[in-house]
Structures are given as structure tokens and as C-alpha cells.
Amino acid sequence: MAIQRILVVDDEPDVVSLLERTLRSDGFEVLTAFDGIGALDVIMAEKPDLVLLDIMMPMMSGYEVCAQVKSNPQTKDIPIVCLSSAHTPDARAQSLKAGAVELIAKPFFPDELLAQIRRHLPAGDVENVG
């Protein structure tokens, strides 16, 4: 069984570090990017199994990144889980409209986050035991 790769995209290094530790301890390979442009580069080059994407970033928002990924035939099937400190119905609606499969509010509980990730990973490789 191949190790699944998750791209973590957030402009806050502390958040990236926390997510990286959480995911690695659960057996995932972790790729990182700190802005939307870097995220698009990694997505095109690496084709991760899932993307954890912060919504509020400078230069290019998570909504814009999500919409670009979903409009590209080569990347449209990659599930995107958005992360946001905006706890509003509008943020959820915008995330889903852009093509995300889920919006998780920050701060999050690691076990909840891992459960959502497993729920949205492509079928077949979801037997990580954490």
C-alpha cells in the first residue's frame, strides 16, 4: 500500500508545522507550501492525494487556488479540504462553491481533522491507524 501524500498550504509557518507533525505521526507523507502560487506549483508537479488549504492567504486566496485546481482536468479530482478561522456559513458556502469537499474551522482538534482527511481520501488506501 502506497503512502498517501497530503499537501499542506498555509501562510502561517506554525500552522504548517503543527499540521505536518500531526499528519506524519499518522503515516502520511507531507508536502508544504506557504502561498497559493507555491501550492499550484506543488499540485501540478506532485499530484498529492489530498490538499489541506488555508482560505485567507496573501496574493491568492484559498478560494482562488481551489477554483484553479478544480478547473484543471489534470488536477480536478484531487480532494481539497479548506481550513479557516472564519466560522461563517458564507465561508463554508464559498469553499464548497470553489470545489472544496469540506471546510474545517481553526482551531481544530487533530483527531477530527484526521477523520475528515480519511473520509475524503481516494478509496483504497484509507487504512491508516492513528
Superfamily of domain 5-120: Response regulator (3.40.50.2300)
The more confidently predicted of residues 91 and 52 is 52
Which tens digit of pLDDT belongs to each residue from 8-43?
999 999 999 999 999 999 999 999 999 999 999 999
Nearest in space to 28 (alpha carbons), one of 11, 56, 52, 44: 52
Candidate from 36-40, 57-61, 84-88 with smallest mean pLDDT: 84-88
Taking 50 as the threshold, does the pLDDT of residue 125 lie above it? no
Taking 60 as the threshold, does the pLDDT of residue 124 lie above it? no
Is 7 within 8 Å of 50 (Cβ atoms)?
yes
Taking 80 as the threshold, does the pLDDT of residue 126 lie above it? no
Taking 50 as the threshold, does the pLDDT of residue 129 lie above it? no
Residue 86: predicted pLDDT = 82
User: In the structure, what pLDDT confidence band is assigned to residue 1 with cuts at 50, 70 and 90?
Assistant: low
Q: Is 86 exposed, middle or buried (0-12, 13-18, 19+ CB in 10 A)?
A: middle
- Rounded to the nearest integer, the mean pLDDT of the chain is 91
Q: Give me the residue spans of the domains in the chain.
A: 5-120
